[in-house]
Amino acid sequence: MASETYVQECDKLCIPVIPLIQNILEQKPEIFDLSRAYVGDKQAVAIAQALKIIKPKQVLMPQNGLMNFGTRSLLSGLEGSNIEVLDIGKNDFAPSCIKDICRFVINTPKIKEVRVLQCSHIKPEHVRQIQDAFLKRK
pLDDT at 36: 87
Dist CA 103 CA 132 (whole Å): 11
Question: What pLDDT is recorded for position 128?
Answer: 96
What integer pLDDT is reported at residue 96 of this predicted model?
A: 94
pLDDT of residue 20: 95
pLDDT value, residue 43: 97
Per-residue pLDDT at 138: 63
Which CATH number covers residue 43?
Answer: 3.80.10.10
Q: How many residues belong to the chain?
A: 138
Residue range of the domain that includes 108: 2-136
**With the C-alpha atoms ordered 75, 78, 81, 83, is the resulting torsion angle positive or negative?**
negative
| Partner residues linked to 114 by β-bridges | 86
**What would the DSSP string read from start to end of 80-99?**
TSS--EEE-TT----GGGHH
Q: How many domains does the chain have?
A: 1
Cβ neighbors of 10 (< 8 A, separation 6 or more) are 16, 17, 43, 46
**Distance, CA of 34 to CA of 89 (rounded, Å):** 12
pLDDT tens, per residue, the chain with 138 residues: 899 999 999 999 999 999 999 999 999 999 999 998 999 999 999 999 999 999 999 999 999 999 999 999 999 999 999 999 999 999 999 999 999 999 999 999 999 999 999 998 999 999 999 999 999 986
At residue 27, the pLDDT reads 94
Residue 91: strand pairing partners: none
* φ/ψ (deg, to 5) at 39: -120, -55
